[in-house]
Structure 1
Amino acid sequence: AARSSYPIARGTIIVSDREPSAHPRARELASKRLTFRDAQYLRDRANALAAVSPGWAQQLSYRVGNTSFTGQVIGTVPAYMVINDIKPLVGRYLSDLDVQRQARVAVLGWKYADSLFGHATAALGQIVSIGEKSYRVVGVLEREEFYFAAWENNALEYRNERAYIPISTAITQYSASDHLDFLTLKARPAVGGAGAQAQVRSLLFARHGVEDFDIRSSGEGAGQQAGQFLLLFNFIFLVVGVVSLVTGGIVIANILLASVVERVREFGTRMALGATAGGIFAHVLAEVLVVTMIGGALGLGLGAALTGVVAHFMQMPAVVSPFIATVSLTTAVSVGLIAGVFPAVRASRLAPVEALRYA
């Protein structure tokens, strides 16, 4: 089985260890940075949090028989998998008992299980060497997939390329201290991410005496990148739209001027029969209004159809709102009317006698 939706862990907060500054002060030098005790402290004191998961990460060697490679290993607790909505394909999660016993058990990501054992589900119950230590595989995770539009690369492949072991095992087997690389936290819905972040920052600062950590919400970096992309996207389309409107206005004006020249005799005849300059002016603008409304409606329909096609391939919802449709049609008509003013004025100022001589 494979999961094809992009994971959005709402209310998830990541606390990561900050690199020491170039000229650290005494408090920064004295700080032990993020430790396992920080996780316990937040679990006891932070009432804005629903779950706390300590995290340790390192690149270690994997080996089964003649197959070997180096990849990421994450030391954590059961809460991490719940917070991040990680689901097993076969087997189980890590358990609290695994953490208490410092058990040599591992949960493999789908790709690692498939690469090491030939088939992901075949890994269950087998022994794998991680960092020259033997672990029994107690679970294999579902394969996670998500593709943006027609991109060939799986945006979630990194989640398939890792293994999870108990945090206690990771610290005792591979670390000389209880130092952590990150904390994964879940805010209570009633508090929200911002309130939980503020409380966590305050508690850790009081405990460390210095802000030697970084706090961000899960997806914050992706959100910022998406915001920058959308800003650039909107700017490009704004420029394209302005250029298109100006060009369209010039084209409309030229076509109308040519039309006025071709219809000089018609206008002269109408004025000789009693038509006023204002009537001729209004007639030309009315024609412009009809043409631009038809053109605007066709453009709006084509744009909506193309939006639907793009949304289908991007696998994202897209809606053309009534407000946008109204603004688009109004803008098209306005540009047409502005472009039609000069030809209409020229037609209304024709002298009937001179116009009737026009062959």
Structure 2
Amino acid sequence: MNRAALIVDDDADIRTGLSLILRKNEVECGFAASAQEALEILKHQHFGLVFTDLKMPEMDGLELLRVIKKRWPKTIVIVITGFGSIETAVEAMSAGAYHYITKPFFNNEILITLERALYEQELTDELIYLRAEVEKKYSFHNLIGRDRQMLEVFELVRKVSASTVPVLIRGESGTGKELVARAIHYLSDRKKKRFLGLNTAALPDTLLEAELFGVRKGAFTGADMDREGLFVQVTGGTLFLDEIGSMSPLFQSKLLRALQEGEIIPLGTTNPISVDVRILAAANLELEEALRSRHFREDLYFRLNVVEIHIPPLRDRIEDIPLLVEHLI
């Protein structure tokens, strides 16, 4: 993680004051009195963070922001603005600024913003690392197992990854259902798009609907802004729904409609949104009981279960135990 910040401001007092706060929190600081000087510095030295004033002569902070996001998109930019330029600050946020701070600023405000920005940077670095690891870990041949049953699973994973049909992954808790789902995604043509998973048993109906389909401001108490659901966030990619047997019949009907129509309706609106998502679902071995008792819709079951992959428990594939121990050590 890069704990270096470039402070860009034509006011030397602002540069000094901000650097004192940052250095107390182990952040190395560089300085530029203008946007042009900042760009020259950035050509030769990498900074994870840039604090820039908006109002500067010649090239202003907004233009600097746009250049930085174009040339160094991973750099986190925090803008500093006077009280009278909030509208410009909002414009800066739309252009890719991480946050804005108004003058005069307070130590706590800087520290909170810094902490969040560094955390964001850490997540970005981790994501880059994980994407590189994914190519190795989920390249099919690196899936752990040599038992005949698991080799059959691997072969089925290879086949279904070449299609876009829904897959139902069955198995006891801890057998690696999400691992198989990720392998299918990263072997497929959708691997450059997002993979997101959700345990549907963890949320009540309203929150589950909001999480998957999205919510519009004012839809319910606490919905103070529009939020896109996972179906929209993962457009072009793969959505993994775990523990589908726990979904209520009411929500099952809404999910079925989304799958049939290829569109979702966020909470708080009647306007549908078209989506392009591959669904991978998982359930434990009790799903048949839910079908028999009609707690789980048969039509949804067949919609999700175009192809079924059953993952055997480790006790039924003793041959894999030494291999897994070696892998974990």
* TM-score above 0.5: no
TM-score in terms of structure 1 length = 0.21
**Higher relative contact order (CA closer than 8 Å, sequence separation 6+):** 1
Q: Structure 1 or 2: larger helix share?
A: 1
TM-score in terms of structure 2 length = 0.23
Larger radius of gyration: 1
